[in-house]
Structure 1
Amino acid sequence: MAYDEELAQRIHDLLEREPGVTSRKMFGGLGFMVDGHMAVAAGSQGSLMVRADPADAEAWVDGESVNPMEMRGRPMTGWLLVAPEALVDDEQLQLWVDRGVGHARSLPPKET
């Protein structure tokens, strides 16, 4: 299933002035990279994949609108899936995008 283009545009609008941001299609979504590290991705049906420090991510999971990310039935440590109902307004989306970008910026530089 293709990614949610409206969500992807909203993310793009939030990140357009952020240095080092690129985007590319991956995992059926549109990933937003910060200095080569994936930070967030627009998924299908309005969901947002967020990269997070595993210690923080555990505290943010509520079992309803925020859950650990799974791929092919396997948990992906350090990744969260945020449901569309938790992203209704731009302030909510900004919170999650900031969390993903903040974690991506904390990672060691990618070697080129």
Structure 2
Amino acid sequence: MAYSEYVVDRVRYRLKGAGVLEEKKMMGGYLFMVNGKMCIGVDMDKSTQQDRLMVRVGKLNYEELLEKEGSRKMDFTGRPMRGFLFIYPEGFDAEEDLDFWVEKALEFNKLLT
């Protein structure tokens, strides 16, 4: 398995009541769609074996959020995907940090509906 069920459960708990929730195994990870839009996911960095979040935050606050602890550009192909971030464990292990990232993903998701 290329993602942590424990991290998936932590994210799932926070998304309850956020809208129409779909869950999909995709891109070697686990994605949560809210109201039909990709919102947040969980996968594992194959080079470091670390769990990480994949967070869709949009372009507006992208540079600012990139400065947060554990945050890195989302890059699967050699080209970063602006508006999407990888968050490594130092940025989401604490409950309040995970709350922060889920809220950022939901804030952007609301702009898409």
TM bucket, shorter chain: 0.7 to 0.9
Deviation at 1:74, TM superposition (A): 1.5
- 2:47 matched residue in structure 1: none
**Distance in 2 of aligned mates of 1:92 and 1:59:** 15
**Distance in 1 of aligned mates of 2:57 and 2:14:** 18
Q: Any idea what SS the aligned residue of 2:67 has?
A: coil
1:19-98 paired onto structure 2 within 5 Å:
19-44=19-44, 45-62=50-67, 65-98=70-103
Cα-to-partner distance string for 1:7-34 (whole Å, 9 max, x where unaligned) = 1010011112322111111111111111
**Distance in 1 of aligned mates of 2:28 and 2:109:** 20
Matched, 1:4 2:4: yes
CA gap of 1:70–1:63, structure 2 versus 1, over 3 A, is farther
Q: Which has the higher contact order (CA 8 A, sep 6+)?
A: 1
Cα-to-partner distance string for 1:20-50 (whole Å, 9 max, x where unaligned) = 1111111111111111101100111320010
Structure 1: runs of 5 or more not aligned? none
Q: Any idea what SS the aligned residue of 2:107 has?
A: helix
Runs of 4+ aligned structure 1 residues displaced above 3 Å come to none
Query: Conserved in 1, the CA contact under 8 Å of 2:69 and 2:91?
Result: no
**Distance in 1 of aligned mates of 2:69 and 2:57:** 18
TM-score by length of 1: 0.88
Percent identity between matched residues is 33
TM-score by length of 2: 0.87
Q: Any idea what SS the aligned residue of 2:14 has?
A: helix
Deviation at 1:64, TM superposition (A): 5.8
Q: Any idea what SS the aligned residue of 1:74 has?
A: coil
CA gap of 1:96–1:64, structure 2 versus 1, over 3 A, is closer
Matched, 1:17 2:17: yes
